[in-house]
Structure 1
Amino acid sequence: MLPDQQFLRIPGPTPIPPSVQHAMNLPMIGHRDQETKDLLHSIKPKLKPVFGTNQEVLMIAGSGTAGLESAVVNAVQPGDEVLVIVTGAFGDRFAQICTEHQIATHRYDVKWGEAAEPEEIEKYLKSHPHIKAVFATLCETSTGVLNPVKELARVIRQHSDALFIVDGVSGVSGADVKMDEWEIDILITGSQKAMMLPPGLTFAAVSERAWKVIENNSRPSFYFDLAKYRDQLDNDSTPFTPALSLLFGLNQVLELMEQEGLEAVYSRHRQMMNMTRAAFKALDIPLLTSDESASPTVTAIKPDDFDPDALRKVLKKEFNLTVAGGQKHLKGSIFRIGHMGYCSPADILQTIGIIEVALNKIGKPAELGSGTRAAQEIMLSGGS
């Protein structure tokens, strides 16, 4: 293992492209000068296709959780009834944020590792007619589940007047999402996942329908007042000091996505998902999620005959390969591999090959090359 060589395969933060790192090292500029206005003017139209929207995408200095809280405080008020679809740790976080803000929070808990079922949400909405907003997670990072957001949006529209607010933090730019077409009202993401940037930026796209609700929300807000960001962005500015180095990097990220093409970006993520899943099936190691519910950005593996944390320790100590562990009640029972953003099928082949060696080192018999071969076959077939 070379001391400066590391392999980061967690579901965020993710590796950063060298050209993006270079862009972030550009000299600092005045955040109210014309150069910043020009930068924001360049970024604005390139962000919209990533969200699948014609709305402006707001950029806020803060983590993905800042985006989640901004959605809550702008779209609902204390005492309002909301439904939070909880399919893992980050659905639970949405529920915690709502509860902290004295919102009447209904939880619909789904077994971790499974996706929400639109038919069940339809039944819930019919029996709770006063719900003002429904919160859901596009990709549940803690379990590797991709929720059927398009279908959830359809039943919410058909059976309620509720806003549909989606945490897309580990999904947007790695999974195809069409905010306008699917009628999502607020879509949030963060910089450190498939967006290929360090932590520190959150993004929010807001529908016209949601803006009407926000504008009639009497609840006071200062930093998280989305209307302030909207109004300033119209003038190619921000209401507060922007994270300029991250904006330099974001501009380059969007250039890279345009060069590759968004459909190719999504196809690459699906291919890496299929390679990873095929590898562990070949190694006879169980996966947490079904193929139908699997996320293209992160895969959760649930071994039944070895300690996943023991594997993670060997991977880190001997190969400087970092994979994620489980969260909450899944801690110690799963490990997760991130395959999003600046990650290629070649990186997945390397990751699987290292894991095969590490499995044998912890006493788990694994036929060397079997998982790698399965991933190679997916790669050769173009299986995305």
Structure 2
Amino acid sequence: MQDKLTLMIPGPTPVPETVLQAMGRHPIGHRSADFQAIVHRTTEQLKWLHQTSSDVVVITGSGTAAMEAGIINVLSRGDTVLCGDNGKFGERWVKVAQAYGLDVQVIEADWGQPLDPEAFRAALEADTAKAIKAVILTHSETSTGVINDLETIARHVQAHGTALTIADCVTSLGACDVPMDAWGIDVIGSGSQKGYMMPPGLAFVAMSERAWEAAKSSDLPKFYLDLLKYRKSAQADSNPFTPAVNLYFALEAALGMMQAEGLEAIFARHARHRAAAQAGMTAMGLALYAAAGHGSPAITAVAPADIDAETLRKRVKERFDILLAGGQDHLKGKVFRIGHLGFVCDRDVLTAVAAIEATVQELGLHTGAPGAGVAACAAALAG
């Protein structure tokens, strides 16, 4: 049926009608008093979401732009960094750091496994010369559905005394608790098309005072992504370049909806959806890809046996007009991923699990009792 596509992928995520309507307003001048008022309000809302008193700047760009900006604004040529790599996006930050000539030391874990905080602790404690200037890692690894222990790793970085924590929170911010100030995180990057419930196009970088101080001496090349320019403009309720005006309208509407729901309720909803998706998959005999106890509240990766995951994903799309995400790189055909972040409700998760179960039954791969997946999902949602 035309115009019935349901997005159950980790981005772009579904967009509320309220946000779409806000975005459909006629543009206004980005140097006008009216727009400056919107910048002022959204800046305060962003601080609320990040649970920080520090500045949060907005870039017209993607989550990758936010992370690249975070890296290049606080580091200098030849700096040593520790980079966690346990999936596609951890791998990306290694490549970004190497592209800027940084001395990158990689702490790896197998895809599907979490990063080991003890490996970071050991490396940081061994650095008696304080050569390590930053630790870069992904909180919610979108490619595998793994959530890393950012809180503990950030605590080890703080104990080091010199290094900064730079965190990719693209699929965790707005899906689970990331109290920036309480955890002592120095840089957080995120993007609008995830937990923010918006279309792609805006990137957000939150920086601690330690990070802003480091930015003053950073000598890596930058112009459009020079965050000191953005900070100076933001303090005047403006932007150094032409921003995506209509996406600011959407941002204000989306953050207003999030404030109305409340942080604790948002986090509880995402935790409930993770539990429901995991219970449904397990009950129908499908294996979860992420290590037990380390599944992200934003996305569930599933590794079906005896079938190409792309075949299952394609069939769900054809029959039910529900779009699931595929595997990346060597996981293509081996896993599919259910996105349950942002503007997703219990009905969406239950519907997606039912569609997957009907498809698994049709393909003769269901190893549980008929309807067991839906029943387990419903029980988790009720619980």
TM-score range, shorter chain: over 0.9
By how many angstroms is 1:127 displaced?
Answer: 3.1
Partners of 2:35 and 2:126 in 1: CA distance? 50
Partners of 2:298 and 2:282 in 1: CA distance? 18
Task: State the AA in 1 paired with 2:131.
Answer: H
Local SS of the residue matching 1:46: helix
Partners of 1:43 and 1:368 in 2: CA distance? 48
Give the aligned partner of residue 259 of structure 1.
260
Partners of 2:23 and 2:381 in 1: CA distance? 33
Give the aligned partner of residue 373 of structure 1.
375
Structure 2 matches for 1:235-246, cutoff 5 A?
235-246=236-247
Q: C-alpha root-mean-square deviation of aligned residues, in Å?
A: 1.1
Local SS of the residue matching 1:134: strand
Give the aligned partner of residue 61 of structure 2.
62
Structure 2 matches for 1:208-247, cutoff 5 A?
208-247=209-248
CA contact (8 A) 2:107 2:119 kept: no
CA contact (8 A) 1:310 1:362 kept: no
By how many angstroms is 1:126 displaced?
Answer: 2.7
Scaled by the length of structure 1, the TM-score of the pair is: 0.97
Give the aligned partner of residue 13 of structure 1.
12
Give the aligned partner of residue 42 of structure 1.
41
By how many angstroms is 1:158 displaced?
Answer: 1.3
By how many angstroms is 1:159 displaced?
Answer: 2.9
Task: State the AA in 2 paired with 1:166.
Answer: A
Partners of 1:224 and 1:47 in 2: CA distance? 19
Q: Percent identity between the aligned chains? A: 39
By how many angstroms is 1:255 displaced?
Answer: 0.8
Give the aligned partner of residue 89 of structure 2.
90
Partners of 1:96 and 1:231 in 2: CA distance? 29
Local SS of the residue matching 1:284: coil
Partners of 2:166 and 2:291 in 1: CA distance? 25
CA contact (8 A) 2:84 2:90 kept: yes
CA contact (8 A) 1:156 1:164 kept: yes
1:156 aligns with 2:127: no
By how many angstroms is 1:29 displaced?
Answer: 0.4
Give the aligned partner of residue 74 of structure 1.
73
Give the aligned partner of residue 326 of structure 1.
327
Structure 2 matches for 1:26-41, cutoff 5 A?
26-41=25-40
CA contact (8 A) 2:100 2:220 kept: no
Partners of 2:15 and 2:102 in 1: CA distance? 38
Task: State the AA in 2 paired with 1:294.
Answer: G
Partners of 2:382 and 2:73 in 1: CA distance? 48
Task: State the AA in 2 paired with 1:148.
Answer: D
CA contact (8 A) 2:187 2:211 kept: yes
CA contact (8 A) 2:277 2:353 kept: yes
1:278 aligns with 2:283: no
Gaps of 5+ in 1: none
By how many angstroms is 1:306 displaced?
Answer: 2.1
Structure 2 matches for 1:53-202, cutoff 5 A?
53-128=52-127, 129-202=130-203
By how many angstroms is 1:331 displaced?
Answer: 1.5
Local SS of the residue matching 2:137: strand
Partners of 1:20 and 1:4 in 2: CA distance? 18
CA contact (8 A) 1:125 1:160 kept: no
Local SS of the residue matching 2:136: strand
Task: State the AA in 1 paired with 2:379.
Answer: E
Give the aligned partner of residue 346 of structure 1.
347
By how many angstroms is 1:379 displaced?
Answer: 1.5
CA contact (8 A) 2:284 2:366 kept: no
Partners of 1:74 and 1:39 in 2: CA distance? 26
Number of residue pairs matched by the alignment: 380
By how many angstroms is 1:160 displaced?
Answer: 4.6
CA contact (8 A) 2:7 2:322 kept: yes
